Structure 1
């Protein structure tokens, strides 16, 4: 059995989220109970997509901090090629490419607004 690191994203539309992650970002469907829930994987990452009818979409306690900076981080071998491929597919990015000593990155959002960072390590 493969070990996965799991992350839960609350989404408004589970089928749209499945389509986004499988079509654009290389995930495969592990299990789907759409429209309530889906489980998609890419390598060791298991992404749990919880729709409004799922138990995972229950309200977050008021004392929990907002998740605005949380995101999944996907390593890509050629960031420019990924940007072109996704732009050609109609995917919009959040901001421009940011470069630093560790590499280059750009943000995009899934249909529910959850952030995804594409990262190309420095050579």
Structure 2
């Protein structure tokens, strides 16, 4: 398999799938809503696991997988300002403003379940 896979725990698989396919350029790979869905973007495969999926089940020690946190997938974009403007117009929530850094600029947005996604524009 040529994909790098990331699993995100979400509370609403349909809502998360719609978000990633509508706003961030992912393509549906597998639809097992309401439990699970997967979507791809290039060589990235995103596994969206809801409470009914095996990835969302309570662990033997009682811990429950939950959405959110700070670990995140990073999507390279050619024009970060244009992407931010487009996504803000669509009602997407951001955690911060565009931050310049030594390697480029970044900003973190939330998917519908509160999982972070970083948009990154490398320096030329």
- TM-score normalised by length of structure 2: 0.90
The structure carrying a bigger strand percent of its residues is: 1
Residue 105 of structure 1 is matched in structure 2 by: 106
**Residues in 2 aligned to 1:38 and 1:47: alpha-carbon distance in whole angstroms:** 8
Gaps of 5+ in 1: none
**Residues in 2 aligned to 1:23 and 1:41: alpha-carbon distance in whole angstroms:** 13
Residue 120 of structure 2 is matched in structure 1 by: 119
Post-superposition offset of 1:91: 0.7
RMSD of Structure 2 on Structure 1 (CA):
1.3
Question: 2:70, 2:115 within 8 Å by CA — same for their partners in 1?
Answer: no
Gaps of 5+ in 2: none
**Residues in 2 aligned to 1:100 and 1:53: alpha-carbon distance in whole angstroms:** 40
Post-superposition offset of 1:58: 1.9
Residue 59 of structure 1 is matched in structure 2 by: 58
**Residues in 2 aligned to 1:87 and 1:106: alpha-carbon distance in whole angstroms:** 12
Aligned length: 118
- TM-score normalised by length of structure 1: 0.91
Where 1:94 maps in the other structure, the secondary structure is coil
Deviating above 6 A after TM superposition, structure 1's stretches of 4 or more consecutive aligned residues are none
**Residues in 2 aligned to 1:120 and 1:14: alpha-carbon distance in whole angstroms:** 28
Question: 2:98, 2:107 within 8 Å by CA — same for their partners in 1?
Answer: yes
Where 1:68 maps in the other structure, the secondary structure is coil
